[in-house]
Amino acid sequence: MVVRRASAQTRLVLDALMTPGNEWRHGYDLAQKTGLAAGTLYPILGRLTDRGILESRWEADPPVGRPRRHLYRLTPNGHAYTEQIAAAAQPTRPRPAIGSPRPASGLA
């Protein structure tokens, strides 16, 4: 899988979806967790679903008086993608050039 660069907002959504047991999450819950407005969140969810990173479905049995919610969770490819993005975001320490002096340890 080719890892595309993910925006900060997309990374927030992916982080919010990384849950133990890969639970289904609804959009309002994701908006609360990420702080993203609906106009930002739902296009991200749509793109991630179209790319196979998320799967989505409608809630089966909503409580009386509340409409069904659209639910989202990571696919196996989505988990791999999220881990690759997290690894790419980790800062790497530069290696010293060959022949360069080692830093002093501070011990005399």
pTM for this structure? 0.75
Q: What is the pLDDT of residues 44-93, one digit of tens each?
A: 999 999 999 999 999 998 889 989 999 999 999 999 998 888 877 766 66
DSSP assignment, residue 61?
S
Residue 63 identity (one-letter amino acid): P
State phi, psi for 23 to the nearest 5 degrees: -65, 150
